[in-house]
């Protein structure tokens, strides 16, 4: 797995609080898409500090267009807030993961199928894709490039934990994220919890909204 640092700079950001992060751009195995690492690291931390890490899949509809059909934008802001509040945190932004790896055009096609009654898994499968087409090997390669072999993982998704452990990265703690339920994302989030075994910070119930 060849991981190459392409560019880096300092970046002041503000989420729940303001902080400065190191922004690093990586290529992986010569692919055109980048992995962006946003690293918040206080200079006084101990050498053996375990970083809080989130592997976040790009979602232009949720993060840029403000879609209420998913929780991606909310999770990114929540994740960056937690990373900026800890002594050592890393956000890995996976630019090739739009639509769980099927790309924006196919994601819009999947949304159209969902309007006709399919759930998110059924829609991907009707388009000829697996329920989740994401490849997390680039994230593993970047963590190893950064010499990170132990993490506190910021995720609700058990598959991300499995991938890290299968690649000899120790997960010492899972930190779950909360969700903002609304009438547009309720069934999607319940499917993530009840079918895909995502562990939200608070258990989601069918009757909790609307």
For the stretch 156-175, pLDDT in tens is 999 999 999 999 999 999 99
CB atoms < 10 A from the CB of 74, how many? Answer: 17
Whether 71 is catalytic? no
Say yes or no to pLDDT of 2 above 70: yes
Q: What does the DSSP 8-state code read for residue 96?
A: T
Fold classified for 3-97+134-180: Rossmann fold (3.40.50)
Residues 99 and 39: their CA atoms lie apart, in Å, by 25
Residue whose token pair is 């598959």: 159
Domain boundaries, the chain: 3-97+134-180
pLDDT tens digits for 25-36?
999 988 877 899
Beta bridge partners of 53: 90, 153
Whole-number Å distance between alpha carbons of 168 and 173? 15
Is residue 41 within 8 Å of residue 81, measured between CB atoms? no
Say if pTM beats, i.e. exceeds, 0.85: yes
Given the residues 54, 71, 100, 134, the one annotated as active site: 134
pLDDT for 64-108, tens place per residue? 999 999 999 999 999 999 999 999 999 999 999 999 999 999 999
Active-site residue, 134 included: yes
Query: Of these residues, 132, 135, 150, 199, which one is catalytic?
Result: 132
């Amino acid at each position: 797995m060849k991981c190459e640092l392409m560019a880096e700079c300092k970046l002041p950001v503000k989420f729940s609080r303001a902080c400065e992060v190191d922004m690093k751009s990586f290529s992986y195995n010569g692919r055109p898409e980048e992995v962006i690492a946003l690293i918040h690291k206080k200079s006084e931390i101990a050498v053996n500090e375990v970083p809080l890490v989130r592997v976040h899949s790009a979602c232009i509809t949720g993060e840029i267009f403000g879609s209420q059909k998913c929780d991606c934008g909310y999770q990114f802001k929540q994740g960056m807030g937690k990373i900026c509040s800890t002594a050592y945190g890393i956000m890995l932004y996976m630019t090739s993961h739009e639509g769980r790896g099927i790309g924006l055009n196919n994601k819009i096609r999947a949304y159209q199928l969902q309007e006709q009654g399919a759930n998110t898994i059924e829609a991907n499968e009707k388009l000829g894709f697996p329920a989740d087409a994401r490849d997390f090997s680039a994230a593993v390669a970047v963590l190893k490039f950064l010499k990170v072999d132990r993490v506190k993982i910021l995720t609700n998704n058990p598959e991300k934990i499995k991938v890290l452990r299968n690649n000899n990265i120790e997960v010492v703690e899972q930190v779950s994220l909360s969700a903002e339920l609304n009438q547009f994302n309720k069934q999607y989030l319940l499917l993530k919890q009840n079918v895909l075994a995502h562990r939200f910070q608070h258990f989601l119930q069918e009757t909790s909204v609307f």
